[in-house]
Amino acid sequence: MISYSKVLSMIKRVVKPSCPHHAQIFVTRKCNYRCRDCNVWMNQESKELSTEEVIRSLDILHEIGVLEIVFSGGNPLLRDDMGEIIDHASKYFITTVYDNGSLAANKIDEIRNADFVAISLDTLDEKKNDYLKGVNGAWRRAMDAIDTLKKEGIHVGVSPTISQMNLYEIIDFTKFFIKREIPVWYCLYAYDYSFNNSAFSIGIKNDEYEIADRKTLAEICSLLMEMKKKSGCIYITDRTLKAIRHLALTGERSWECRALENFLVVDHLGRVSSCHCRDPIASIFDLPKIWKSPDIERLRNEYRQCTRCVYLCYIFYSVHAGFPGLMDIIIDQRKNVKAYMGK
C-alpha cells in the first residue's frame, strides 16, 4: 500500500527538479520462464550484486532523490534475499516488484512490504498465455497468485504487455480485473530494432507481437481514458495514453526522452544505464560523483533526441517530466492511496 508519507515525498520532489523520479533495478538475470518475446532466459547469469551491494545501491538512489523503485529481472523473486531487499527499499521508495506469477504466492512474507506486486499476465486465454510465457500452467499459477495475494491484503495487480497477440482482448481483459478490484498496469510491446548493446532485447522484427493495427491501439487508448473516469484500477495516466494515441495515429512523438533525468536503469551487476537498450555509463557506486557532471548532461541532451524505442515505462516517465507531469502522477497516486486505505 502506498502511504501518505510517500505521496508527500513525491510532492516535495516537485520542487527539486534535478532529481530522478524512477529507477528500475534488474536484480537478477535468472528466470524460470521462457517468454517468447524476451531473451533474458536465453542468456542467464549466476553473477549478481550481493545483498549488501543491492542495499548500498538503494541508499545511493535515495541519496540522489529517486522516489520510485521497480524490481525486475529475470524474475527478482528467484533471489533468496528479496524479502530483505524489499523491506529496505520500502523505507524510502514507492516499491514495486514484478513476478511472472510463479513465485509470489509462496513468498508472502518476503513481499508484504512492497507497495505493489505486478503479476505478468497477457490474456484471459489460458492456452495462449502459456504459449506466450513458454511454460505450461503459467496462466493458472498467475491467476491463483493474484487471488492469494489479494486475500493476504497485498496490493497486487496484473501487468499485460499489449501486443498484436492480445490487442483485441485488452479492453475485456481490463474490465475483467477492474470488476474484481484488481489494478491493471500496462506494458507495450516494442521490438529493439536498433540497439546492439542492450541489457536484454525484445522480439524479432515483424514478428507476431509487433502491433500492426495502430488504429485499434489508438481506440484502446481512448477507451481506457473513458474507463478511468469510473475506475481507479487502471494504472496509466491520461497524459501517457494521449502520447501513445498520438504516436499510433500520426507516427510522431509528442515527448522527448528523459533518460538520466527522470529515470534510469541499474542492472544485476550494478551498472547504470539510461535505459536497458543503452550501454552502461557508470557503476551505481560512482553515480553520486558524476550525476551532475558535464558528461552526464551531454548524454541527457543526446537522449532527448532519441526516437528509437516505444517502451511504455520510458514513455511514462518522459511525458511526466517537469512540474505538470509530476503533479499528474501525484494526483493519481493520491487516488490510489485513498482507494486502498478506504477498504
What dihedral angle (degrees, nearest 10) is formed by the CA atoms of 21, 26, 27, 32? 140
List residues bridging with 264 in a β-sheet: 23
Closest to 24 (Cα-Cα) out of 278, 334, 304: 278
Output 23 or 5, whichever has higher pLDDT: 23
Phi/psi-derived region of residue 18, left when phi > 0, alpha when psi is between -120 and 50, beta in every other case? alpha
Q: What is the mean pLDDT of the chain?
A: 89
In eight-state DSSP terms, residue 253 is -
Tally Cβ neighbours within 10 Å of residue 115.
24
Output 335 or 93, whichever has higher pLDDT: 93
Say if CB 177 and CB 129 are below 8 A apart: no
Output 207 or 181, whichever has higher pLDDT: 181
Q: What is the pLDDT of residue 341?
A: 42
Q: What is the pLDDT of residue 14?
A: 58
Written as nine digits, the cell of 184 is 491493471
For the cut 80, the answer to whether the pLDDT of residue 337 exceeds it is no
For the cut 50, the answer to whether the pLDDT of residue 340 exceeds it is no
In eight-state DSSP terms, residue 259 is B
Q: What is the pLDDT of residue 190?
A: 76
Q: What is the pLDDT of residue 2?
A: 60
Q: What is the pLDDT of residue 7?
A: 62
Relative to beta strand 22-26, strand 68-72 is: parallel
pLDDT digits (tens, 9 = 90+) for 25-70: 999 999 999 988 887 777 777 899 999 999 999 999 999 989 899 9
Closest to 199 (Cα-Cα) out of 257, 260, 271: 271
Residue partners of 288: CB distance under 8 A and separation at least 6: 60, 63, 64
Tell me the residue type at 243. A
For the cut 90, the answer to whether the pLDDT of residue 8 exceeds it is no
Say if CB 160 and CB 123 are below 8 A apart: yes
Q: What is the pLDDT of residue 36?
A: 84
Task: pLDDT band for 12, please (50, 70, 90 cuts).
Answer: low
pLDDT digits (tens, 9 = 90+) for 208-252: 888 999 999 999 999 999 999 999 899 999 999 999 999 999 999
Residue linked to cell 552526464: 296
Query: Is the domain 4-341 a CATH 3.20.20.70 member?
Result: yes
Phi then psi for residue 134, to 5 deg, are 75, 15
Task: pLDDT band for 198, please (50, 70, 90 cuts).
Answer: low
Give the orientation angle of helix 322-341 with respect to helix 238-250, to 10 degrees.
120
Task: pLDDT band for 342, please (50, 70, 90 cuts).
Answer: very low
Q: What is the pLDDT of residue 77?
A: 98
Q: What is the pLDDT of residue 266?
A: 97
List residues bridging with 119 in a β-sheet: 99, 158
List residues bridging with 157 in a β-sheet: 118
List residues bridging with 265 in a β-sheet: 24, 273
pLDDT digits (tens, 9 = 90+) for 153-193: 999 999 999 999 999 999 999 999 999 999 999 999 876 55
Closest to 213 (Cα-Cα) out of 162, 164, 166: 164
